[in-house]
């Protein structure tokens, strides 16, 4: 078990290999489809002009993401009426939806970890090697258990996206995950896909 504290250094990231179990502590940011699309269009490809609080949010989140982690998560949150937020469920959402965006977001913000479920593709794996960074697979179906690792909600941004799509800044302690894509080109997801394809071809040929 690797106990990791955010921000993560290049050296720590390069020590991690596919299959390593980790316990992550520190400040992470949630982000799903709307957040990734917003980051790409507004600040990376700049195909839309910043509006409203966009620049303020960007300036706040950029230092948190540098050396940090983004979590593909649509949380269930209590305290919405009082502002005393508490994560009730914090399970991972399917990561592959962010494949068109993730590599560019990782490079721009110098992200060291992406957390989700189901793995990602070749573009993200290339970014893991380049930045360097890792993809951490969180346990699907364990939303309540994972929520226990959330010690505090520091803040929330882009609430206009809706609660699941908003960017929640949270402090976690010993968040459990497994490295399934590393900075050396290793991808457990690619290995499983190749093995499954080979098994299917063998069955079809028999």
- Report long-range pairs for 138-143 (Cβ below 8 Å, ≥24 apart): 138/71, 138/91, 138/92, 138/175, 138/176, 138/177, 139/91, 139/92, 139/176, 139/177, 140/91, 140/92, 141/91, 142/91, 143/76, 143/89, 143/90, 143/91
pLDDT of residue 196: 54
Q: In total, how many domains does the chain have?
A: 1
Range of the domain at 113: 2-205
Q: Among 36, 72, 137, 189, which one carries the catalytic annotation? A: 36
Say which CATH number the domain at 24 has.
Answer: 3.20.130.10
Q: Residue 172 to residues 63, 69, 82, 112, 192: CA-CA distances in angstroms?
A: 17, 11, 22, 16, 30
CB of 186 within 8 A of CB of 134? no
Tell me what pLDDT residue 126 has.
Answer: 97
Average pLDDT over residues 153-179: 97
pLDDT for 197: 61
Mean pLDDT of 67-87: 95
pLDDT at 52 over 90: yes
Strands (E), the chain: 2-5, 21-30, 69-71, 76-78, 86-89, 113-116, 134-137, 150-157, 167-181
184 given a catalytic annotation: no
pTM: 0.91
> Could you read off the pLDDT of 8-43 as tens digits, one per residue?
999 999 999 999 999 999 999 999 999 999 999 999
């Amino acid at each position: 078990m690797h106990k990791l504290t955010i921000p993560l250094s290049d050296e720590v990231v390069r020590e991690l290999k596919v299959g390593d179990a980790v316990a992550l502590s520190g400040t992470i940011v949630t982000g799903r489809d709307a957040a990734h699309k917003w980051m790409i269009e507004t600040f990376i490809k700049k195909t839309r002009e910043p509006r409203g609080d966009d620049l303020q949010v960007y300036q706040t989140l950029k230092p948190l993401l540098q050396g940090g982690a983004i979590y593909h998560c649509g949380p269930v949150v209590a305290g919405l009426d009082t502002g005393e937020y508490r994560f009730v469920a914090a399970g991972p959402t399917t990561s592959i939806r962010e494949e068109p965006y993730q590599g560019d977001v990782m490079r721009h913000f110098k992200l060291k970890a992406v957390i989700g479920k189901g793995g990602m593709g070749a573009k993200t794996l290339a970014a893991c090697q380049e930045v360097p960074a890792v993809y951490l697979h969180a346990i699907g179906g364990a939303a309540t258990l994972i929520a226990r690792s959330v010690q505090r909600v520091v803040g929330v941004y882009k609430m206009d996206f809706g609660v699941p799509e908003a960017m929640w800044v949270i402090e976690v302690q010993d968040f459990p995950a497994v490295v399934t894509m590393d900075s050396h080109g290793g991808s457990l997801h690619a290995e499983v896909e190749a093995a499954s394809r080979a098994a299917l071809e063998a069955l079809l040929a028999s």
